[in-house]
Structure 1
Amino acid sequence: MFINKLYQKIVSIPLKLLVNSKLLPEDPIKELEIDPQSPIYYVLQRRSTSSFLMLQEKTKQLNLPPPKIMAHNTTEIENGTVFFLQNKALFGFGGKLVKKYQKLLEELLKKQQMDKDNHHQLVPVSIYWGRNPGKEKSLLRLLFTDTESATVLRKFFLFLFQGRNSFVRIAKPVNLFNVVKDNSNTATLLTKLTRTLRVHFHRHRQAAMGPLISNRRQVVTNVIASNNVKSAIERQSRAKKISPEKAKKLAEKYAKEIASAYSYKTIRILESALTHFWNKIYDGVEVRNSEMVRQLAATHEIVYLPCHRSHIDYLLLSYTLYHEGLVPPHIAAGINLNFWPAGPVLRRGGAFFLRRSFGGNKLYTAVFNEYIFQVMDRGIPLEFFPEGGRSRTGRLLQPKTGLLAMTVQSCLRGLRKPVAIIPVYVGYERIFEGKSYLHELRGANKKRESFGQLLGIRKKLKQAFGKVYLNFSPPLFLNKYLDEQQPDWHQYKGEISAKPTWLTPQVTSLASLLLERINASVTLNSVSLVALVLLSTERMAIDRQELETQLKLLLSLTKNAKYSAQTHIPSESPKELIAQAEKLGTIYAVDNPMGEVISTDEQTAILLTYYRNNILHVFITPALIASSFLNQQSMTQEMLIKNLTQLYPFLKKELFLHWNEVEFHQHICDNVTVFIEKEILTQEGDQLIRVDENKIGFEQLFTLAQIARPTLLRYGIILTLLSTQAGRGDISRQTLENRSQQLAQRIAALHSLNAPEAFDKNLFRNMVSVLRDHELIKVTEDNNFTVNTNLTELQDLVLNSINIHSKQIMQKTANWANQYWNKN
């Protein structure tokens, strides 16, 4: 023991000087549900003095039992005892089980069988010296890549080169009480437990490191050599009447254009640069549910689906995953980002590039499809944006389903691990691209990504951008989903690029479901909440006290009529939220003899619509309830539910609301309960009655109703245009969309904030699609629309939900527009 302690003292010197390890998760006691009151034992994969000392340091920080090495002359297993699963291996290979600790584990199992009052916890601990998985067929990885079984010389190099990039990963404890429940003999239990622990260490290492890095040239060769691409080359040769060699060279060109060139060295450089970048411009990055991802990454092929707000998104997600002890994913990036110097750097950081449109190019499609399959089959996590591009309005865009379809096809074909799709919500208090988005929505051409744009970032480094929020939503297990939705999917196993008849509609439904989960995981922040209220006022100005009152109501609605269990509600008070929005320069205070007024300028107000739209879906139900009482003193709750249910299909498609009809009804009732508690509504028998206009509750109701005003106005515009066509002939879809957009732009320019919604044709297209699905309009043979006369009922409902002034403006403008169009 003396020699052992002396050796530990010697090793601890370079360890303290050269090593600065990160603990994962940061609060393992809470996140992993470790019980400090019950006996705790630790398991390390291999005997290692440095690993033991690192474990010692972390347990001291956490106030957990200090790790102990069993003396040779004792058989007593104390609280905190460390079990080593394997002996050191030669050059990182092999490693037999340690017989001594196998016997002690067996004794511990017997101890648990006898001790029914305590649940003994076995906590696996992994130590990662760096995150380099090494290259295939590389001798250097034997010297420099991570291993707990390193020789003294190798460990010195690890201290020197990877000491500041080491991780201590504590895993969920194994409850030995549950292990001994099946009443097997201890030898059998020991075998099962040992096998479980060995698999655990292997899987978690793969999740942290990823597979060995393949040479990019070899990746291209493997793609071209696949049966799928070989067949596509033959078809290309026949169709284009070119030689097979020329078709093969074209396929190789496509593969090189697509393939990532993942480099651990580049990841390290980017990590260092981005750490400086985040600290410079952001007040912090808040991450939620990362432990869930760590658990899944050990057993599943992970596909990340983040919403797309900014170019920062993919950097942020990869950076966060790296710091959470997980391998960064391979990211699908638009070919527009493949410019010097960003393209080569992104490619080495894990990006692979795709064209915006495959344009019916079957050879390119086959190469890309095969590349996706091979990436997933090797266990490399994948990331792509289901919206296709960045949202310019702050809303989720309608999904582009191409990559999702390829993911499903890869699953059908057969992967080594089941697939877990993890939707990811990314939110910003301020985004980089705000002003450029506004210009694009107003008709300016999108600026092509270039080196000049990168240089322009320097100017923004002096600005404050607040916090960033990254929330991992509950996963969708693709194999299980297909079992439930399409039980026959297994019959396509091994089939390349299978396209069953149900694939397209099923992928479309799946995409909507995933976007609903993203919206359900939204974080409400200071700027979005303040924007929601401020933009609901007539002149973008509000008394500070009134703003605090309205924010208090919004927070009460989110707590007592929850949008989703995953929605994150800020802990700050209304006063603190306002102060944060002021700090970020989105609002300012104006002195007034009767109290401070909070306001903003018109340009900033237009940008604030982006942040309002980030959270509009959370408050659309209470806003519509308030709107229902603008022009009506009272109504029954049954009628309220009936009216809002008529609007729900449009809202669900546009805002990706996650409820079914029954759940939506319950959400309405929950909000009504809050309205009654806050004395905005009262209830007499089956009647809901609006508060008197001279009371504070009516001001709250009126301001809340204005949240839904832009949405209802847009619906009213389309319905008014269509109602004028009822019985008068047909109107083409393009004409309807164009005229709706023109009318919205004119109303915005003359009578309200000239906001992005007025310029977004997709919003009008969504409503037309729902009207068609519900047969309120029908497509004729010449691809025009015939209008159902029942449309007027929906129109009346919408117009009765906006204030009289807004209704008059819209009808006046619509009449003028019809006269203008008839003349022209």
Structure 2
Amino acid sequence: MLLNQLYQKIVSVPLKLLVSSRLLPDDPVKELEIDKSQPIYYVLQRRSTSSFLMLKEKARLLGLPNPSLMKSDSEEIQDGAVFFLQNKTLFGIGGKLVNKYQKRLARLIHEQRKNTDKKFQLIPVSIYWGRNPGKENSLLRLIFTDTESATPFRKFFLFLFQGRNSFVRFAKPVDVNRVVTPEQSDQSLATKITRTLRVHFHRRRQAAMGPLISNRRQVITNLVVSDNIKKAIEREAKSKNISLQKAKKQAIKYADEIASAYSYKTVRILESGLTHLWNRIYDGVKVRNVEMVRELATTHEIIYVPCHRSHIDYLLLSYTLYHEGLVPPHIAAGINLNFWPAGPILRRGGAFFLRRSFGGNKLYTAVFNEYIFQLMDRGIPLEFFPEGGRSRTGRLLPPKTGLLAMTVQACLRGTRRPVALVPVYIGYERMFEGKSYLNELRGAEKKKESFGQLLGIRKTLKQAFGKVYLNFAKPLMLNEYLDEKQPDWHEYRGQAGAKPSWLTPQIGEISIELMERINASVTLNSVSLVSLILLSTERVALGRKELAEQLELLLSIQKGAPFSEQTYLPDESPAQIIAQAEKLRTIFSVDNPMGEIVTTDEQTAILLTYYRNNILHIYITSSLIASCFLNTESLTKNELISELTKLFPFLKKELFIDWEEKEFIEQIEKNLSVFIDNEILFVNGDLITRADESMPAFDKLFTHAQIARPTLLRYGIILTLLTTQAGRENLSRQDLEKRSQQMAQRFAALYSLNAPESFDKNLFRNTVSVLREGDLIKVSEDNRFEINPELSNLYDTILSKLNNHSRHIMLKTAAWASRYWDEK
């Protein structure tokens, strides 16, 4: 025992000098529900003095029992005792179970049987020395790659090269009381627990390290020699009337254009550089639900599907995952980013490149499909953006399904592990690209990504960008989903590029489901909340006191009628929210004899529409409720629900709302309760009434109603065109969408902010699509509209939700547009 203590002191010297480890999760006692009042024991995979000492340090910081080695001459298993599952291996020899600890574990189980009032907790603890999985066929990985069975000589090199990049990972405790069963002996239960823990440690290591890194040239060779690509090469040679050798060279060229060149060294350098970057420009990156992903990564092939706001998204998600002890994914990036020097760096960071359009190129498609399958089959996590490109309006874009289809086809073909699609919400208080987005939406040509743009970032780095929020949403378990929706999907196992008749519509449904889950996992931040309110005022200005009151209302609505369980509210008070928005220079105060006024300039106001649109779906229900009382003092609840459910199909499709109609009605009722609790609406018998227009409560109601105004105006514009123009001339779907957009642009230029959505064709296209799905309009064989008489009822419902001024200028614009088109 004395020799052991002496050895620990010797090892502790380089450990203190060279090692700085990170704890995962950040607060394991809270996140893993460790009960400090009950006995706690630790489990390490292999006997290791350095790992034992690191465990002691973290246990001390967390206030957990001091880890201790069990004395061989004592039967007592003290609180904080450490169990080692296996001996060290040396050149692949050893690694057997430690019999002494097996007997002690059986003894612990015996003690648990006698003390049923106690909960013995076995906490598995993994120690990672660096995150380098090592390269295949590399001798250097035997020296520099993490392993708990390293010799003292190898451990010294790990201290030296990986000591500042080590992790201590606590896992959820095993409740021994729940494991104990009367029909099994102590020894058999000890064996069962040991087997479970060995699998646990193996899976955790795979989730943190990933598979061995393959040589890029070997990856390309493996692609080209696969049976599927050989067949594709033969088809290419035959269809193009070229030699097999020439077709093979083309396939190699495509593979070289696509494949990543993942480098652990590059990832380490990027991690160090990005840590400095985030600390310089952001006030912090707030991550939620990462523990769920850690657990999922041990059993599933993970495909991350984040929303796409900024080029920073590529770096942010990979950085976060690496920082949280998970393998960074290989990322599908547009070929436009493959310019020097960004392209080579991104490729080494795990990016693989794809063309914006495959253009019917069957050989390129086959190579890309095979690459996706081989990555998934090897257990490498992937990331792609379902929207295809960055949103220029702040709303989620209609999903592109190409990469999702390849993912589903790879699942049909059969991957080693089940597939989990993990939606990710990424939100910024301020973004790099805000001004360039507005220029593009107004007709300016999109600037091609280049080295010059990278140089221009230097000016941007001097600004403050607030906080970033990254939320992992509810995952979609693809195998289970297909079992439920398409039970015959297993029949396609082994088939590359299988295309059953149900595939395309099913992929469409999955893509919408993913977008809805992203929107359900939003974090409300200072800029988005302030934007939502200020843009609902006539002159983008409001008294500071009134702004605080409106913010209080928004927070009350989400507390009383939360959009989803995964929607997050800010911790700050309304006054702190306003102060944060001021700090980010999105708003400013103007002195006034009757109290400060909060406002912004016109250019910034237009930028604020982007941040407002990030959270518009959260408050659309409450705003529509408020809109119902603009032109009437009272309604019954049934009348209110009847009117709003007419609009629900449009809202669900446009805003990717994860509710069915029944849930929407429940949301209406919850929001009504919040308005009543805040004395903005009142119950009067069977009627719900609003305050008189002279009362402050009506001002709150009026301002809140204006949140839905742009949406209602857009619907009104399309319906105005349908009810006026379609009856006078043959109006095609393309004409309707184009003219609606033209009207919206003129309306915005003359009477409102020249906001980005006025230029967004997708919004008008969505509305027309819902009208068709609801049989309110039909398209004839010559692509002309036939209008259902029920359309006029919907039109009246929408007009009733707008105030007199809005209705007047919309109809005025429509009349002007009608004369303009007649004259053309």
Q: Please indicate, yes or no, whether the TM-score normalized by the shorter chain is above 0.5.
A: yes
| Corresponding residue for residue 98 of structure 1 | 98
Deviation at 1:616, TM superposition (A): 0.3
Deviation at 1:730, TM superposition (A): 2.8
Deviation at 1:114, TM superposition (A): 2.0
Is this contact kept in 1: 2:561–2:671, CA < 8 A?
A: yes
Matches for 1:590-739 after TM superposition, within 5 Å? 590-739=590-739
Tell me how many residue pairs correspond in the alignment. 824
Report the Cα distance in structure 1 between the residues aligned to 2:398 and 2:816, rounded to whole angstroms.
32
Report the Cα distance in structure 2 between the residues aligned to 1:93 and 1:400, rounded to whole angstroms.
51
Report the Cα distance in structure 1 between the residues aligned to 2:106 and 2:417, rounded to whole angstroms.
32
| Corresponding residue for residue 496 of structure 1 | 496
**Residue identity matched to 2:190:** L
| Corresponding residue for residue 479 of structure 1 | 479
**Are 1:209 and 2:209 matched, yes or no?**
yes
Deviations 1:240-265 (A, max 9, x none): 11111111111111111111110000
Report the Cα distance in structure 1 between the residues aligned to 2:641 and 2:219, rounded to whole angstroms.
57
**Are 1:458 and 2:455 matched, yes or no?**
no
| Corresponding residue for residue 173 of structure 2 | 173
Secondary structure of 1:753's partner? coil
| Corresponding residue for residue 757 of structure 1 | 757
Distance of aligned partners of 1:208 and 1:182 in 2 relative to their CA distance in 1, 3 Å threshold: farther
Secondary structure of 2:786's partner? strand
Report the Cα distance in structure 2 between the residues aligned to 1:451 and 1:679, rounded to whole angstroms.
57
Secondary structure of 1:400's partner? coil
Matches for 1:792-803 after TM superposition, within 5 Å? 792-803=792-803
Deviation at 1:780, TM superposition (A): 1.5
Distance of aligned partners of 1:615 and 1:90 in 2 relative to their CA distance in 1, 3 Å threshold: same
Identity across matched positions, percent: 72
Secondary structure of 1:84's partner? strand
| Corresponding residue for residue 366 of structure 1 | 366
Secondary structure of 1:650's partner? helix
Report the Cα distance in structure 2 between the residues aligned to 1:546 and 1:94, rounded to whole angstroms.
72
**Residue identity matched to 2:669:** C
Is this contact kept in 2: 1:133–1:211, CA < 8 A?
A: yes
Secondary structure of 1:16's partner? helix
Deviations 1:387-429 (A, max 9, x none): 0000000000000011111111111111111111111000000
Matches for 1:45-444 after TM superposition, within 5 Å? 45-91=45-91, 95-181=95-181, 183-444=183-444
TM-score (ref. length: structure 1): 0.99
Is this contact kept in 1: 2:405–2:507, CA < 8 A?
A: yes
Is this contact kept in 2: 1:92–1:150, CA < 8 A?
A: no
Deviation at 1:729, TM superposition (A): 4.8
Matches for 1:519-530 after TM superposition, within 5 Å? 519-530=519-530
TM superposition outliers: structure 1 runs of 4+ over 6 Å: none
Is this contact kept in 1: 2:103–2:187, CA < 8 A?
A: no
Deviations 1:189-215 (A, max 9, x none): 122111111111110000000000011
Report the Cα distance in structure 2 between the residues aligned to 1:92 and 1:728, rounded to whole angstroms.
84
Report the Cα distance in structure 2 between the residues aligned to 1:814 and 1:117, rounded to whole angstroms.
76
Deviations 1:277-323 (A, max 9, x none): 00110000000011111111011111111100000011000000001
Report the Cα distance in structure 2 between the residues aligned to 1:775 and 1:367, rounded to whole angstroms.
42
Is this contact kept in 2: 1:92–1:147, CA < 8 A?
A: no
Is this contact kept in 2: 1:731–1:786, CA < 8 A?
A: no
Deviations 1:547-599 (A, max 9, x none): 00110001000100110010001111100000000000000000011100001
Report the Cα distance in structure 2 between the residues aligned to 1:178 and 1:384, rounded to whole angstroms.
41
Secondary structure of 1:357's partner? coil
Deviation at 1:725, TM superposition (A): 3.4
Report the Cα distance in structure 1 between the residues aligned to 2:764 and 2:661, rounded to whole angstroms.
23
Is this contact kept in 2: 1:395–1:655, CA < 8 A?
A: yes
Is this contact kept in 2: 1:726–1:789, CA < 8 A?
A: no
Deviations 1:742-778 (A, max 9, x none): 1001010111111111111111111111111111111
| Corresponding residue for residue 809 of structure 1 | 809
Report the Cα distance in structure 2 between the residues aligned to 1:579 and 1:365, rounded to whole angstroms.
51
CA RMSD of aligned residues (A): 1.0
Is this contact kept in 2: 1:392–1:610, CA < 8 A?
A: yes
Deviations 1:125-169 (A, max 9, x none): 110000000001111101110011111111110111101000000
Deviation at 1:187, TM superposition (A): 2.6
Higher mean displacement: 335-344 or 782-791: 782-791
Deviation at 1:491, TM superposition (A): 1.2
Deviation at 1:93, TM superposition (A): 6.1
**Residue identity matched to 1:98:** V
Deviation at 1:653, TM superposition (A): 0.7
**Residue identity matched to 2:121:** Q
Deviation at 1:684, TM superposition (A): 1.6
| Corresponding residue for residue 512 of structure 1 | 512
**Residue identity matched to 1:358:** F
Deviation at 1:94, TM superposition (A): 5.0
**Residue identity matched to 1:36:** K
Report the Cα distance in structure 2 between the residues aligned to 1:528 and 1:421, rounded to whole angstroms.
27
TM-score (ref. length: structure 2): 0.99
Matches for 1:33-44 after TM superposition, within 5 Å? 33-44=33-44
Secondary structure of 2:437's partner? helix
Report the Cα distance in structure 2 between the residues aligned to 1:175 and 1:615, rounded to whole angstroms.
41
Deviation at 1:92, TM superposition (A): 5.8
Secondary structure of 2:181's partner? helix
Secondary structure of 2:422's partner? strand
Distance of aligned partners of 1:807 and 1:93 in 2 relative to their CA distance in 1, 3 Å threshold: farther
Is this contact kept in 2: 1:92–1:149, CA < 8 A?
A: no
Deviations 1:503-534 (A, max 9, x none): 11111111111111111110000000000000
| Corresponding residue for residue 791 of structure 2 | 791
Is this contact kept in 2: 1:91–1:142, CA < 8 A?
A: no
Deviation at 1:789, TM superposition (A): 2.7
Secondary structure of 1:272's partner? helix
Report the Cα distance in structure 1 between the residues aligned to 2:94 and 2:9, rounded to whole angstroms.
28
Report the Cα distance in structure 2 between the residues aligned to 1:350 and 1:784, rounded to whole angstroms.
49
Is this contact kept in 2: 1:92–1:142, CA < 8 A?
A: no
Is this contact kept in 1: 2:255–2:367, CA < 8 A?
A: yes
**Residue identity matched to 2:678:** K
Deviation at 1:91, TM superposition (A): 3.5
**Residue identity matched to 1:178:** R
Report the Cα distance in structure 2 between the residues aligned to 1:490 and 1:775, rounded to whole angstroms.
37
Is this contact kept in 2: 1:729–1:786, CA < 8 A?
A: no
Report the Cα distance in structure 2 between the residues aligned to 1:362 and 1:708, rounded to whole angstroms.
46
Secondary structure of 1:707's partner? helix
**Residue identity matched to 1:468:** V
Report the Cα distance in structure 2 between the residues aligned to 1:566 and 1:744, rounded to whole angstroms.
34
Is this contact kept in 2: 1:109–1:180, CA < 8 A?
A: yes
Distance of aligned partners of 1:642 and 1:182 in 2 relative to their CA distance in 1, 3 Å threshold: farther
| Corresponding residue for residue 582 of structure 2 | 582
Secondary structure of 2:89's partner? coil
Secondary structure of 1:23's partner? strand
Is this contact kept in 1: 2:726–2:785, CA < 8 A?
A: no
Secondary structure of 1:107's partner? helix
Secondary structure of 1:731's partner? coil
